[in-house]
């Protein structure tokens, strides 16, 4: 009997996870929330709200001045693996590592940022939006790339087309992913996880609506489970 698509996907993901710390991180965290906060305190509250909803990681961006402080403070949230997002230069890599970030995500590909991250012994997730950038990432040993902005760059059909040229490569689509299309993305085997801000929208953080963040997180995790994640 042929294995079902879901079963073969799980096996392929399991094999990748056994070989790569990044793939293992994503196997444990199929939904990666992109967190933007203006204070460390907000970061801690968001982190607790995510964990209460079953999300166990947070990509805290360097888009605000509070990024590094929030990453440092969020280490205290039990059950949360904190990474840094929107890391666009090596000074930010240093700041993220010093703050305790366990992984580093960029909106694009910079060889300097990837090298500095790997040299620090941290997991690197650069974004690549086309085949040329993917080839540059492969040269540095990257096995999974963020695909950003996913919806504008062609979504699932684009990822399937790129995947045909790069067998074994994992993708983390981010940008335009939400509760309505999460299942479409997570039903594709090479998509190791999805990133996005939909469960931690700025207005929810500003309003201190931690309960809604928990509800949206739980909804995302439920969708992921239904996709066999
Ligand atoms: O800041 C970065 O490093 C990014 O790469 C951008 C974020 O991942 C996206 O802006 C999230 O996209 P939305 O879920 O559509 O809000």
- Report the SS3 class of residue 174: strand
Judged against a pLDDT cut of 80, whether residue 223 lies above it is answered with yes
Ligand 1 pocket residue status of 83, Cβ below 6 Å: no
CA of 17 to the centre of ligand 1 (A): 24
Our measurement of the distance from residue 227's CA atom to the centroid of its chain's CA atoms, rounded to an integer in Å, reads: 17
Q: Which residues pair with 85 in a beta bridge?
A: 61
* Rounded CA separation 191/202 (Å): 26
Please choose from 196, 201, 204, 205 the residue to mutate so as to test ligand 1's pocket, defined by most ligand atoms within 8 A of CB. Answer: 196
Q: Which atom of ligand 1 is nearest to the CA of 85?
A: 3
CA of 204 to the centre of ligand 1 (A): 16
* Axis-axis angle for helices 67-74, 40-52 (nearest 10): 50
Ligand 1 pocket residue status of 88, Cβ below 6 Å: no
**How many other CB atoms are there within 10 angstroms of residue 132's CB atom?**
10
Q: Is the separation of the CB atoms in 208 and 216 below 8 Å? A: no
Ligand 1 pocket residue status of 92, Cβ below 6 Å: no
- Which CATH number does 5-221 carry? 3.20.20.70
Ligand 1, atom 4: nearest CA belongs to which residue?
A: 107
98-147 pLDDT tens trace: 999 999 999 999 999 999 999 999 999 999 999 999 999 999 999 999 99
Our measurement of the distance from residue 19's CA atom to the centroid of its chain's CA atoms, rounded to an integer in Å, reads: 18
Structure tokens at 183: 């299942």
DSSP state of 83: E
Mean pLDDT of the chain: 95
> Where do the domains of the chain lie?
5-221
In this prediction, residues 81-108 reach a mean pLDDT of 98
CA-closest candidate to residue 55, choices 172, 214, 226: 214
CA of 21 to the centre of ligand 1 (A): 22
* Rounded CA separation 217/54 (Å): 7
Q: pTM for this one?
A: 0.94
Mark 1-27 as b/e (b = at least 16 C-beta within 10 Å).
Answer: eeeeeeeebbeebeebbeebebbbbbb
In this prediction, residues 192-218 reach a mean pLDDT of 98
Going along 47-143, which residue ranges are E strands?
57-61, 81-85, 103-105, 123-125
Judged against a pLDDT cut of 80, whether residue 3 lies above it is answered with no
Ligand 1 pocket residue status of 155, Cβ below 6 Å: no
Residue positions counted in the chain:
229
CA of 1 to the centre of ligand 1 (A): 41
Ligand 1 pocket residue status of 174, Cβ below 6 Å: yes
Residue 28 phi, psi dihedral angles, 5° rounding: -80, -15
- The ipTM (two decimal places) reads 0.94
The CA-to-CA distance between both ends of the chain, in Å, stands at 23
- Residues recognised as catalytic: 59, 146
Ligand 1 pocket residue status of 107, Cβ below 6 Å: yes
Q: What is the pLDDT of residue 2?
A: 42
């Amino acid at each position: 009997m042929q294995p079902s698509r879901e079963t073969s996907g799980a096996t392929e993901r399991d094999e990748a996870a056994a070989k790569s710390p990044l793939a293992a991180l994503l196997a444990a965290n199929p939904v990666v929330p992109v967190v933007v906060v203006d204070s460390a305190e907000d970061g801690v509250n968001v982190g607790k709200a995510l964990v209460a909803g079953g999300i166990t990681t947070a990509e805290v961006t360097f888009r605000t001045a509070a990024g590094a402080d929030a990453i440092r403070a969020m280490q205290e949230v039990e059950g949360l693996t904190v990474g840094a997002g929107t890391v666009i230069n090596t000074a930010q890599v240093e700041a993220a590592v010093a703050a305790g970030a366990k992984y580093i995500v960029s909106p694009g590909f910079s060889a300097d940022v990837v090298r500095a991250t790997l040299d620090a012994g941290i997991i690197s997730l650069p974004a690549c939006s086309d085949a040329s950038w993917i080839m540059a990432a492969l040269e540095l040993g990257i096995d999974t790339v963020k695909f950003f902005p996913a919806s504008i760059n062609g979504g699932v059909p684009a990822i399937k087309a790129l995947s045909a040229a790069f067998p074994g490569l994992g993708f983390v689509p981010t940008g335009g992913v939400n509760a309505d299309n999460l299942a479409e993305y997570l039903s594709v085997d090479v998509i190791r996880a999805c990133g996005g801000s939909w469960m931690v929208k700025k207005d929810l953080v500003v309003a201190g609506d931690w309960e809604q963040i928990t509800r949206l997180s739980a909804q995302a995790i439920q969708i992921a489970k239904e996709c066999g994640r």
